[in-house]
């Protein structure tokens, strides 16, 4: 059996970024970035402003030439895809429209370019809920409508891979809810969705995996399950928790005592703590679970970017810097 062209990266719908680097002048916008996005998943592509997300997506789509490294979709560079719009749908800006074109005209132009039937433009407008604005000039579109039109253009060729840059910007809460369901629907059909976003709560809701960048480098990637493993914490409050604390230690559970006297126990098994409290006659005022918070992880990994300090010097909980712990070989 012979390997497909492009080796293992040639799997339909797989995105492979391998040691991708882009240098603008003296600035390394993207630095030896490597990650893989698997078909049938929604991958959140996260990072603070200037982290290199958009540059990476543009290199992936052949709009920016990498300084070194490769980025492939279905095992080949974007420019080498035989029918690009039928393989990849991408929306990078919410304003890439001629203001004098209607939404329908905009889509029909790219249908023509891709050799798709013009009726496909009507179909995707229906899909994104823009049928009523189809014949309205794009200069009269709200930001939310522009986002939807951008999404519609990604669907023209019914592609297996969708690459979206900040698609939730400008959407109202209803639009964001719709977008969430839309992503799940697309991933459920086995499509690959790579979505960059600042809306971390939304990403946590829909993403199966996340790739987190800071200053052009990968600081963490993995499935949500991998990232959240062991991060759930039980919060316990009461007037006298000392007997319970001893019981927890005896049960092999670890945790800490907060300044307000509450306990934080590293477990997601509240029933076990409740049982121990009952057995030791401890009065509880609160027993709740603090679940994995992507936002918290994001800020801990990208703190240097927000505070202007050196990321390399940041060592949460005394561990090595996050990007050193998690850099892919």
Give me the least distance between CB of 49 and other proteins, in Å please.
Answer: 15
DSSP of 167-202 = TTTT--HHHHHHHHHHHHHHHHTT-EEEEE-S-HHH
Interface with other proteins (CB under 8 A), residue total: 34
Inter-residue contact 15 to 70 (CB < 8 Å): no
Contact region with other proteins (CB under 8 A), list: 54-62, 211-219, 249-257, 321-329: 54-62
Site for other proteins in 148-177 (CB under 8 A): 153
Q: Is residue 145 at the binding interface for other proteins, with CB under 8 A as the rule? A: no
CB 145 within 8 A of CB 167: no
Beta carbons within 8 Å of 1's beta carbon, 6+ residues apart: none
Q: How far apart are CA 84 and CA 18, in angstroms?
A: 21
Q: Are 163 and 61 in contact (CB under 8 A)?
A: yes
Least distance CB 85 / other proteins (angstroms): 6
Q: Quick check: 156 and 89 in contact, CB under 8 A?
A: yes
Rule CB under 8 A: choose which of 109, 143, 284, 289 binds other proteins.
Answer: 109
Structure tokens at 5: 């062209």
Near other proteins by CB under 8 A, which window of 35-43, 57-65, 177-185, 206-214?
Answer: 57-65
Query: Per rule CB under 8 A, is residue 119 in the interface with other proteins?
Result: no
64 is an interface residue for other proteins by CB under 8 A:
yes
101 or 184: whose CB is closer to other proteins?
101
Least distance (Å) from other proteins to the CB of residue 169? 15
Using CB under 8 A, pick the residue from 1, 100, 259, 313 that binds other proteins. 100
Q: In the window 263-302, what residues touch other proteins (CB under 8 A)?
A: none
Helices (H), the chain: 53-60, 84-87, 103-114, 119-127, 143-155, 173-188, 200-206, 224-228, 242-250, 270-279, 294-301, 303-307, 322-326
Q: Please, which residue, 70 or 300, has the CB nearer to other proteins? A: 70
Q: How far is the CB of 121 from other proteins (least distance, A)?
A: 11
The strand pairing partners of 289, in sequence order, are 234
CA distances from 103 to 27, 54, 124, 241 (A): 38, 24, 11, 63
Among 8, 113, 189, 307, binds other proteins (CB under 8 A): 113
Residues that bind other proteins (CB under 8 A): 54-55, 58, 61-65, 78-79, 81, 84-85, 88, 90, 92-93, 95-102, 105, 108-110, 112-115, 153
């Amino acid at each position: 059996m012979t390997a497909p062209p492009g080796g293992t990266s040639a799997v339909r719908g797989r995105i492979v970024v391998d040691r991708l680097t882009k240098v603008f002048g003296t600035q390394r916008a993207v630095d030896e970035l490597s990650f893989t996005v698997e078909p049938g998943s929604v991958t959140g592509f996260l990072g603070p402003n200037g982290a290199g997300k958009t540059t990476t997506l543009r290199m992936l789509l052949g709009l920016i030439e990498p300084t070194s490294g490769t980025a492939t979709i279905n095992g080949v560079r974007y420019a080498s895809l035989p029918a690009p719009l039928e393989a990849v749908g991408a929306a990078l800006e919410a304003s890439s429209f001629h203001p004098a074109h209607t939404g329908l005209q905009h889509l029909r132009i790219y249908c023509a370019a891709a050799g798709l039937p013009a009726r496909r433009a009507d179909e995707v407008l229906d899909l994104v809920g823009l049928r009523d604005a189809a014949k309205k000039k794009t200069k009269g579109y709200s930001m939310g409508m522009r986002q939807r039109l951008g999404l519609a253009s990604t669907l023209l060729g019914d592609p297996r891979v969708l690459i979206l840059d900040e698609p939730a910007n400008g959407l109202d809460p209803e639009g964001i809810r719709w977008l969430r369901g839309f992503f799940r629907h697309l991933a459920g059909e086995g499509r690959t969705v790579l979505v960059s976003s600042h809306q971390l709560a939304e990403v946590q809701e829909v993403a199966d995996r996340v790739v987190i960048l800071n200053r052009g480098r990968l600081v963490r990637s993995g499935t949500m399950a991998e990232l959240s493993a062991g991060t759930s914490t039980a919060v316990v409050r009461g007037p006298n928790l000392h007997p319970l604390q001893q019981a927890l230690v005896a049960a092999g559970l670890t945790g800490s005592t907060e300044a307000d006297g509450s306990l934080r126990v590293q477990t997601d098994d509240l029933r076990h703590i409740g049982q121990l409290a009952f057995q030791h006659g401890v009065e509880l005022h609160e027993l709740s679970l603090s679940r994995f918070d992507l936002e918290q992880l994001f800020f801990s990994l990208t703190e240097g970017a927000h505070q202007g300090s050196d990321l390399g010097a940041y060592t949460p909980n005394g561990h090595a810097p996050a990007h050193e712990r998690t850099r892919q070989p």
